[in-house]
């Protein structure tokens, strides 16, 4: 049988997290079908149909799925679940919110945030904030899996899947969307960016984050932050990199004024190249950095920006 | 209005985790244990609801070894009224925990269950959502703000792009994120008072739940260590090295 991947999208476009979850799903139980649930989501569905290896895209286009509330969305997935051996979602806020509901209704365990598929029944996932990695076997029941997207490459475009409209499932009508307040940014998204530059408590204020943002714009990088910087109100919560925030693994991660608490390291230590700029020579961040610069960030950042321009 | 708050006993978040030499798991012997930080936020939120007059009784539940009694005492010292200890030694998967909590919720009939969004040991992030599904209740996960309205709760959630607010019919499930509140320290008089608050002792069998795990842990190992690289003398040298490396 096949795997069903719950697509992450904003109706107008497919999020790259979907292509990464498709990569994992292909290793678990091919062929892969993608479920695009949304409102006016035809564009996202077309993009999903182009992913290599996707056989069918199921589209549930209905107002009740506009904000992917977990109660109706879980019902929709359950209505389709019989035809699948595996139900997979990227471990985004939506995936984490919806999939455990599906697993509970199917009376099966969920395997959260896998970082590797060792065999179709054996998975690796981090526990204790990434301080240990467990290998688990799931045999004899339907697999419900969320995928840590930073650990998988995106499935490339190049396919031509059929697109099939499906009817909406029952809406339990116990919840409704009220409002959302999304951070608007021209910069790349944190979890998909090739370069991430993050600031910590060392930045000292919201205004000083401009030093980081200028470099981000020059490099085409996303801006991240430590929990300390978020808690201090320097940047919005969706910028937090760490165990309890976003987990990133870009080509280049630049940590500025970040001490390197375990919590933060768990969210970025799989980056290819890590740079640390910190005035405290003993900061833990240096123990994982490929390049360390011991300096006052208020001097180092303008110099860094200047050198980039040369 | 009754509020149910499940709390888990986990390794204290300040303790460095050690993997056992035989790779069977993480070493829990003689390690400092504490209430799961997200659950502590859940207790605090329930206590605030009671202080505002919105909640009338807070029941804390912990499922685990006899040491979980201490975790319940922490919740009671913060302001919970009574505890339920469901004794169980050995691993318990989130689905089994959710089934036990479902049975307790049906018995206790709370209007709100507030839990941590995840436990910092297995990092599963499942129990709240599973409990909501088993009860057929709505869920407000990763909560940054909880407001009680007439027959509803408005939950502002931390989502990938920012914040989202949903309205849920009561009874409902809320799971806490970091910025929901700053938990209080229990005062000494409250710690003393907590010793006299009742804790009912139960077993998993009392709720008719099969505790056997369905997933098999094959091994637990340490992550690959990253080694520290080189120090650079200046920002200019840093740029030069990154260009050599081809990452900028």
The share of chain A scoring above pLDDT 70, in percent, equals 100
Question: A263 falls in which pLDDT band (50, 70, 90)?
Answer: confident
| Partner-chain contact A96 B158, CB within 8 Å | no
For A179-202, how does the pLDDT look when each residue is reduced to its tens digit (9 = 90+)?
A: 999 887 889 989 889 999 999 999
A47 backbone dihedrals φ, ψ, rounded to 5°: -65, -40
For B29-74, how does the pLDDT look when each residue is reduced to its tens digit (9 = 90+)?
A: 999 999 999 999 999 999 999 999 999 999 999 999 999 999 999 9
- Strand-strand pairing, A132-137 and A122-127: antiparallel
Name the DSSP letter for residue A51.
Answer: B
Q: How far apart are CA A139 and CA A5, in angstroms?
A: 19
Q: How far apart are CA A58 and CA A6, in angstroms?
A: 10
Chain A hits for B241, CB-CB cut-off 8 Å, are 291
For the packed helices B127-135 and A93-106, what is the interaxial angle rounded to 10 degrees? Answer: 50
Chain A interface mutation, best of B24, B215, B216, B246, highest count of A Cβ atoms under 10 Å: B215
For chain B, strand residue ranges (E) read 2-6, 9-11, 33-35, 57-64, 82-87, 112-116, 139-149, 152-159, 162-169, 172-176, 199-203, 216-221, 230-232
Lowest mean pLDDT among A93-97, B15-19, B89-93, B207-211: B15-19
Degrees (nearest 5) of the Cα angle B91, B97, B102?
Answer: 165
Residue B9 in 3-state DSSP? strand
For A114-136, how does the pLDDT look when each residue is reduced to its tens digit (9 = 90+)?
A: 999 999 999 999 999 888 999 99
| Partner-chain contact B223 A195, CB within 8 Å | no
For A67-219, strand residue ranges (E) read 84-90, 110-114, 116-119, 122-127, 132-137, 143-147, 162-165, 175-182, 195-199
How large is the average pLDDT for residues A225-243?
A: 93
Q: How far apart are CA A127 and CA B78, in angstroms?
A: 28
Q: How far apart are CA B154 and CA B166, in angstroms?
A: 6
| Partner-chain contact B217 A130, CB within 8 Å | no
- Give pLDDT, residue B27: 95
Quote the tokens at residue B31: 């390690």
The answer to whether residues B34 and B13 touch, using CB atoms and an 8 Å cutoff, is yes
How large is the average pLDDT for residues B105-125?
A: 97
B158: nearest CB among A138, A237, A277: A237
In the block, tokens 């993997």 appear at B19
How large is the average pLDDT for residues A300-305?
A: 97
Q: How far apart are CA B90 and CA A228, in angstroms?
A: 35
Question: B228 falls in which pLDDT band (50, 70, 90)?
Answer: confident
Q: How far apart are CA B24 and CA B20, in angstroms?
A: 6
Q: Is the pTM of this model over 0.90?
A: yes
Question: A310 falls in which pLDDT band (50, 70, 90)?
Answer: confident
Question: B227 falls in which pLDDT band (50, 70, 90)?
Answer: confident
The answer to whether residues A15 and B161 touch, using CB atoms and an 8 Å cutoff, is no
Q: How high is the mean pLDDT of chain B? A: 96
A45 backbone dihedrals φ, ψ, rounded to 5°: -65, -40
Residue A267 in 3-state DSSP? coil
**Number of helices (H), then strands (E), in chain B:** 6, 13
The answer to whether residues B177 and B40 touch, using CB atoms and an 8 Å cutoff, is no
- Give pLDDT, residue B226: 86
The answer to ipTM > 0.90 is: yes
Per-residue pLDDT at A286 exceeds 90: yes
SS3 labels along A112-155: EEECEEEECCEEEEEEHHHCEEEEEECCCCCEEEEECHHHCCCC
Q: What are the residues whose beta carbons fall under 8 Å from the beta carbon of A41, sequence distance 6 or more?
A: A9, A11, A59, A61, A65
Neighbours of B27 (CB within 10 A): 13
The answer to whether residues A183 and A236 touch, using CB atoms and an 8 Å cutoff, is yes
Q: How far apart are CA B231 and CA A277, in angstroms?
A: 10
Per-residue pLDDT at A218 exceeds 90: yes
For B170-217, how does the pLDDT look when each residue is reduced to its tens digit (9 = 90+)?
A: 999 999 999 899 999 999 999 999 999 999 999 999 999 999 999 999
| Partner-chain contact B126 A273, CB within 8 Å | no
* Among candidate residues A133, A282, A250, the one with its CA nearest the CA of residue B225: A133
Cα A207 versus chain centre, distance: 27
- Give pLDDT, residue A238: 87
Q: How far apart are CA A88 and CA A126, in angstroms?
A: 17
Neighbours of A140 (CB within 10 A): 8
Chain B hits for A102, CB-CB cut-off 8 Å, are 133
How large is the average pLDDT for residues A169-176?
A: 97
Q: How far apart are CA A66 and CA A63, in angstroms?
A: 5
Q: How far apart are CA B90 and CA B203, in angstroms?
A: 13
A273: nearest CB among B93, B134, B245: B245
Number of residues that this document lists for chain B: 248
How large is the average pLDDT for residues A136-152?
A: 96
- Give pLDDT, residue A174: 98
* Among candidate residues A2, A40, A8, the one with its CA nearest the CA of residue A21: A8
For A38-75, how does the pLDDT look when each residue is reduced to its tens digit (9 = 90+)?
A: 999 999 999 999 999 999 999 999 999 999 999 999 99
Please name the residue of chain A whose CA is at the shortest distance from the CA of residue B230.
A291
- Give pLDDT, residue B207: 98
B245 backbone dihedrals φ, ψ, rounded to 5°: -75, -15
- Give pLDDT, residue A262: 85
């Amino acid at each position: 049988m096949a795997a069903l991947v719950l697509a992450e999208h904003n109706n107008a476009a497919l999020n790259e997290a979907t292509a990464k979850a498709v990569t994992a799903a292909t290793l678990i139980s091919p062929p892969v079908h993608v479920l695009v649930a949304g409102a006016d989501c035809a564009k996202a569905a077309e993009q999903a149909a182009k992913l290599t290896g996707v056989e069918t895209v199921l589209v549930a286009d209905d107002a009740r799925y506009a904000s992917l509330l977990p109660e109706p969305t879980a019902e929709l997935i359950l209505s389709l679940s019989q035809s699948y051996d595996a139900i997979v979602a990227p471990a985004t806020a939506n995936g984490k919110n919806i999939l455990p509901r599906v697993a509970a209704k199917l009376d099966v365990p969920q395997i959260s945030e896998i970082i590797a598929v060792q065999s179709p029944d054996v998975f690796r996932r981090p526990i204790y904030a990434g301080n240990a990695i467990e290998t688990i076997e799931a045999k004899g029941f339907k697999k419900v899996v969320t995928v840590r997207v930073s650990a998988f490459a995106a499935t490339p475009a190049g396919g031509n899947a059929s697109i099939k409209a499906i009817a909406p499932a029952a809406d339990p009508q116990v919840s409704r969307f009220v409002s959302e307040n999304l951070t608007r940014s021209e910069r790349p998204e944190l979890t998909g960016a090739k370069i991430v530059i993050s600031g910590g408590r060392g930045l000292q204020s919201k205004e000083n984050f401009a030093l980081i943002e200028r470099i981000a714009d020059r490099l085409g990088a996303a801006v991240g932050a430590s929990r300390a910087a978020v808690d201090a109100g320097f940047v919005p919560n969706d910028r937090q990199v760490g165990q309890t925030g976003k987990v990133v693994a870009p080509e280049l991660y630049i940590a500025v004024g970040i001490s390197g608490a375990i919590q933060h390291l768990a969210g970025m230590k799989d980056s290819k190249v890590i740079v640390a700029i910190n005035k405290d020579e003993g900061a833990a961040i240096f123990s994982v950095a490929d390049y360390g610069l011991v300096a006052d960030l208020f001097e180092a950042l303008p110099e860094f920006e200047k050198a980039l321009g040369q | 209005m009754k509020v149910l708050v499940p709390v888990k006993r986990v390794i204290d978040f300040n303790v460095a985790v050690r993997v056992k030499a035989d790779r069977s798991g993480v070493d829990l012997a003689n390690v400092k244990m504490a209430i799961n930080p997200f659950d502590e936020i859940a207790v605090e939120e329930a206590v605030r609801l009671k202080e505002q007059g919105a909640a009338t009784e807070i029941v804390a539940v912990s499922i685990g070894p006899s040491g979980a009694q201490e975790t319940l005492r922490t919740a009671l010292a913060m302001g919970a009224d009574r505890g339920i200890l469901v004794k169980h030694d050995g691993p318990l998967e989130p689905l089994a925990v959710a089934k036990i909590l479902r049975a307790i919720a049906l018995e206790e009939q709370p209007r709100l269950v507030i839990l941590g969004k995840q436990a910092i040991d297995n990092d599963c992030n499942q129990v709240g959502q599973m409990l909501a599904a088993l009860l057929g209740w709505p869920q407000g996960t990763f909560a940054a703000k909880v407001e009680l309205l007439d027959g509803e709760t408005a939950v502002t959630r931390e989502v990938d792009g920012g914040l989202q607010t949903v309205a849920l019919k009561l009874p409902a499930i809320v799971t806490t994120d970091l910025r929901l509140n700053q938990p209080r320290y229990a005062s000494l008089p409250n710690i003393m008072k907590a010793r006299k608050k009742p804790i009912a002792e139960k077993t998993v069998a009392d709720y008719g739940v099969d505790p056997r795990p369905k997933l098999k842990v094959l091994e637990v190992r340490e992550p690959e260590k990253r080694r520290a690289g080189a120090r650079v003398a200046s920002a200019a040298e840093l740029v030069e090295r990154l260009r050599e490396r081809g990452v900028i």
